[in-house]
Amino acid sequence: MRAFRAAVEAHDLDAVEALLADDVVFTSPVVFKPYRGKAVTAAILRAVERVFEDFRYERVIGEADGRDHALLFTARVGDREISGCDFLHLDASGHIDELTVMVRPLSGAQALQVAMAAQFERIAGEAEGSRARTAG
């Protein structure tokens, strides 16, 4: 998905959030239970932006007009190199309704888990603030 990739690469998290469906389901590589909803998913993606260093997409798999896409990436968390994949599914209106992230190796996933756990309170606050702005 070109728009998602371009927004991520431009560090434009508002544009990323605009591409998410209200009922998006985000499946993390380091947490068992999926997260549901645009506010929490956007907050998590903002945290990932803060945690990942040297992030870059290497390749995109999927038909340009298809509803399923895989975006392969590399990044670093601290001194750990990570390779991973963002799996996106688009709903009928073209919004991302499923986002699944997988990473490897295990040591990189563990470093990511520790770094994201340190972001937990900020993620929760950003998600709540976003929900309040949307509801108000």
User: For the domain bounded by 2-135, which CATH number is listed?
Assistant: 3.10.450.50
pLDDT of the chain along its 136 residues, tens only? 789 999 999 999 999 999 999 999 999 999 889 999 999 999 999 999 999 999 999 999 998 889 999 999 999 999 999 999 999 999 999 999 999 999 999 999 999 999 998 988 888 888 887 767 777 6
Name 53's bridge partners: 76
| Spatial distance between the Cα atoms of 24 and 3, rounded to a whole number of angstroms | 17
* SS3 of the chain: helix, strand, coil, percent, to 5: 40, 35, 25
Per domain, the residue ranges of the chain are 2-135
Global confidence as pTM: 0.89
Q: Which residues contact 11 (CB under 8 A, 6 or more apart)?
A: 49
| Spatial distance between the Cα atoms of 41 and 96, rounded to a whole number of angstroms | 11
Helices within the chain (DSSP H only): 2-9, 13-18, 38-51, 106-117, 120-135
